[in-house]
Amino acid sequence: MAYSTKVLEHYNNPRNVGSFDKDDPMVGTGIVGAPECGDVMKLQIKVNPLTGLIEDAKFKTFGCGSAIASSSLATEWVKGKSLDDALGIRNTEIVEELALPPVKVHCSVLAEDAIKAAIKNLQEKQANSPQAVNS
C-alpha cells in the first residue's frame, strides 16, 4: 500500500512531538487507544489563561504512519483555536487532508478522540481547581 505524500511528509517531519507537564493547570492531556490495538495517541494542549485559546500542542503516538500523521496534523490544527472550535474538528477533515484510505480511517477517529479527551481533561482540571482561570 502506498502512502500519500502528505502522510509521508508528516511522518518524516512530525510537528510538535513532545510532552508538557501534565500537572500544569493550563495543560490538558488526552490519551486514547491501546497498545493491544496497535495505536496509542497522547495529545496535549496548553491554553493561554488570558485569551482562553490553545497556544501550543504536543503529541506522542505509537502507531502506524497514518496514526502518526493524523496526530501530527491534529496538533497543528488545534493551535490558535478556542476549545469550542477545537471540539469542532472532525475526523473526516483529517481523512481528506491526509488522503487516508478506508483501512486507515480509524487513525483519524483516534486523533479526533484525542483532541476531545485533552479538552475534557483540561475542563475537568479547571472545574476542580479554584485558582485556574476560567475564560
Among 110, 115, 118, 119, binds another protein (CB under 8 A): 110
Spatial CB neighbours of 113, under 8 Å, sequence gap ≥ 6: 30, 32, 41
- Please tell me whether residue 36 binds another protein under the rule CB under 8 A: yes
CA separation for the pair 104, 71 (Å, rounded) = 13
- Please tell me whether residue 17 binds another protein under the rule CB under 8 A: yes
Which of 3-11, 77-85, 91-99, 119-127 is the region at the interface with another protein (rule: CB under 8 A)?
3-11
Where in the sequence numbering do the catalytic residues fall? 37, 107
C-alpha cell at 128: 476542580
Q: What distance lies between CA 2 and its chain's CA centroid?
A: 25
**CB-nearer residue toward another protein: 34 or 133:** 34
Q: Is the dihedral of CA 70, 89, 30, 78 positive or negative?
A: positive
Among 26, 27, 28, 33, binds another protein (CB under 8 A): 33
**CB-nearer residue toward another protein: 59 or 77:** 59
The single-letter code of the amino acid at 38 is G
